[in-house]
């Protein structure tokens, strides 16, 4: 069968064909030939309960029979209202919920919201954003600008808006002349100087708790809290991206609460619907929201919206998902699974081409290097991404790398026996690939 599908982040010339997934059950994906693969990346980091969970499927069917979609333009719907109230109660300090479709659009909303906030209160010179180097916020133009990963986005630089980048505290690749603690302090010092010396900054933007697509950089204790404090001190909005890090992925329901930080604007997505339907949200505090209120002719209202904003089918699924979080105490389950992953780090670190292992909650990044002493990355011509994927399939695992970084990002509710199967398979995969490239 000839395929007309163009796949994301994929060199199509490398892949003569793709496995066709036809169904999912529990933690497993099944292809058209009857083979099964353990979903080791939670279907792009979003799956919570596994596939075909009865409660979620029934919720989707039930809502489909009542209302499939209704616009939020001058109308509302009961599911959008219900979910928004639950999210505001869940997220400390937040006041209103703006709906969008995915993580990238949620971050576009965040950026526009911040710019218009300053415009609405008469501070029109505040138009610049400060971000952390190597952060990632999505693939649309504004999101690429905020989260500029050079290897991903250098081809599009001419259409991106400029941002001020500050160093990120990568514990594995510390610049010469710094201890780890000194480098972390250096990062904070750079941020403070940037905020204090520029009076045109609208907002500081960062992923909450860790940088994910930029290479799995786990923030040191207190780092995010310090940035939050600096933003308040210097009158800069603090925007957090919890698309991939909230709702339990890093071990806490609301990661910014765990980090003791206080955002003005925060976005959630991915696991919001347990990975079953596209939905994202951007929450704002009362200060931000109130700046958009006024007479129509003042044109202070928010100029943003999507066709499927507040889709009731997606919102109903998210409501059921949140009920399952509470019913099954998923955060407690995650802590146990996280402890299991922590216990396997020493074994994984001892493998021949593993340079570093970074882990928090239900995410682990295993960085592969050609030389442990120099920390030299595995060269692209080794095709490590393809080797890992193909070898993992032999162990009945679906894996995808970030360049030379193997990611373990399973569904949050994965049972320990299947988590054990996954980790053992990853270890065997790395061993086999090591034999072939060294």
Query: 95-109, 196-210, 273-287, 366-380: which has the minimum mean pLDDT?
Result: 366-380
Task: Supply 422's token pair.
Answer: 């996954």
- Is 164 within 8 Å of 179 (Cβ atoms)? no
Question: ∠ CA 172-167-163 to the nearest 5 degrees?
Answer: 140
Give the model's confidence band at 15: pLDDT under 50 very low, under 70 low, under 90 confident, else very high: confident
- pLDDT for residue 423 is more than 90: yes
Q: Which of 79, 114, 78 is nearest to 292 (CA)?
A: 114
Residue 389's pLDDT is 96
Residues 6+ apart with CB under 8 A from 180: 171, 174, 220
Mean pLDDT score of the chain: 96
Triad 401, 325, 57: Cα angle to 5°: 80
Which of 15 and 38 is assigned the larger pLDDT?
A: 38
**Assigned token pair, 87:** 């999210």
The pLDDT of residue 194 is: 98
pTM: 0.97
- What's the rounded mean pLDDT across residues 406-428? 98
Confidence of residue 436 (pLDDT cuts 50, 70, 90): confident
pLDDT in the model for residue 276: 98
User: pLDDT at residue 1 above 80?
Assistant: no
Q: What percent of the chain has pLDDT over 70?
A: 100
Q: How much is the pLDDT for 80?
A: 98
Structure-token pair, residue 66:
């009542």
324's CB contacts (< 8 A; 6+ apart) are: 48, 49, 53, 55, 56, 274, 330
pLDDT at 234: 98
DSSP-assigned letters across all residues of 230-255: HHHHTT-EEEEEETTTTTTTTSSSSH
- Torsion angle of alpha carbons 248, 252, 253, 256, nearest 10°? -120
In the predicted structure, residue 291 carries a pLDDT above the cut 90: yes
First CA to last CA distance, the chain = 37
Pairing of strands 397-398, 36-39: parallel
Please tell me whether residue 109 adopts helix, strand or coil conformation: helix
- pLDDT, one tens digit per residue, over 257-289 is 999 999 999 999 999 999 999 999 999 999 999
Please name each of the domains of the chain with its CATH number: 58-327 (3.40.640.10), 329-437 (3.90.1150.10)
What local confidence, expressed as pLDDT, does residue 16 receive?
85
Residues 349-381: tens digit of each pLDDT: 999 999 999 999 999 999 999 999 999 989 888
Helices (H) and strands (E) in the chain, counts: 15, 18
- pLDDT tens-place string over residues 113-162: 999 999 999 999 999 999 999 999 999 999 999 999 998 999 999 999 99
Is the model's pLDDT at 387 over the cut of 80? yes
């Amino acid at each position: 069968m000839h395929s007309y599908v163009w796949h994301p982040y994929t060199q199509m010339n490398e892949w003569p064909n793709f496995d066709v997934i036809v169904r999912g059950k529990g933690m497993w994906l099944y292809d058209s030939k009857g083979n099964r693969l353990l979903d080791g990346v939670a279907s792009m980091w979003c799956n919570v309960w596994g596939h075909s969970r009865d409660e979620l499927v029934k919720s989707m069917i039930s809502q489909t029979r009542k209302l499939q979609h209704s616009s939020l333009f001058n109308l509302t719907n009961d599911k959008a209202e219900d979910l928004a109230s639950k999210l505001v109660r869940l997220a400390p300090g937040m006041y209103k919920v703006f709906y969008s479709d995915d993580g990238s659009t949620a971050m576009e909303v965040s950026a526009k919201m911040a710019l218009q906030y300053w415009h609405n209160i008469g501070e029109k010179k505040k138009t610049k954003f400060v971000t952390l180097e190597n952060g990632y916020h999505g693939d649309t133009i504004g999101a690429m600008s905020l989260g500029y990963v050079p290897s991903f986005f250098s081809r599009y630089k001419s259409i991106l808006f400029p941002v001020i980048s500050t160093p990120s505290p990568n514990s594995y690749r510390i610049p010469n002349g710094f201890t780890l603690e000194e480098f972390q302090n250096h990062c904070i010092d750079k941020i403070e100087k940037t905020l204090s010396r520029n009076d045109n900054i609208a907002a500081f933007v960062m992923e909450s708790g860790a940088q994910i697509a930029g290479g799995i950089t786990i923030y040191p204790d207190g780092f995010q809290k310090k940035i939050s404090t600096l933003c308040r001190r210097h009158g800069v909005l603090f925007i957090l991206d919890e698309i991939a890090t909230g709702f339990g992925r890093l071990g806490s329901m609301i990661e910014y609460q765990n980090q003791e930080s206080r955002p003005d604007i925060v976005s959630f997505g991915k696991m919001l619907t347990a990975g079953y339907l596209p939905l994202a949200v951007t929450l704002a505090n009362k200060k931000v929201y109130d700046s958009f209120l006024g007479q129509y002719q003042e044109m202070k209202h928010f100029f943003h919206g999507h066709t499927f904003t507040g889709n009731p089918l997606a919102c109903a699924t998210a409501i059921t998902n949140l009920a399952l979080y509470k019913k099954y105490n998923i955060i407690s389950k995650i802590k146990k699974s996280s402890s299991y992953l922590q216990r396997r780090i020493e074994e994984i670190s001892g493998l021949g081409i593993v340079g570093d292992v970074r882990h928090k909650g239900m995410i682990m990044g295993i960085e592969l290097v050609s030389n442990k002493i120099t920390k030299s990355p595995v060269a692209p011509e080794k095709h490590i991404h393809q080797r890992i994927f193909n070898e993992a399939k032999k162990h009945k695992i679906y894996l995808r790398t970030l360049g030379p970084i193997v990611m373990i990002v399973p569904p949050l509710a994965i049972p320990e026996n299947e988590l054990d199967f996954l980790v053992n398979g990853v270890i065997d995969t790395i061993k086999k690939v090591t034999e072939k490239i060294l």
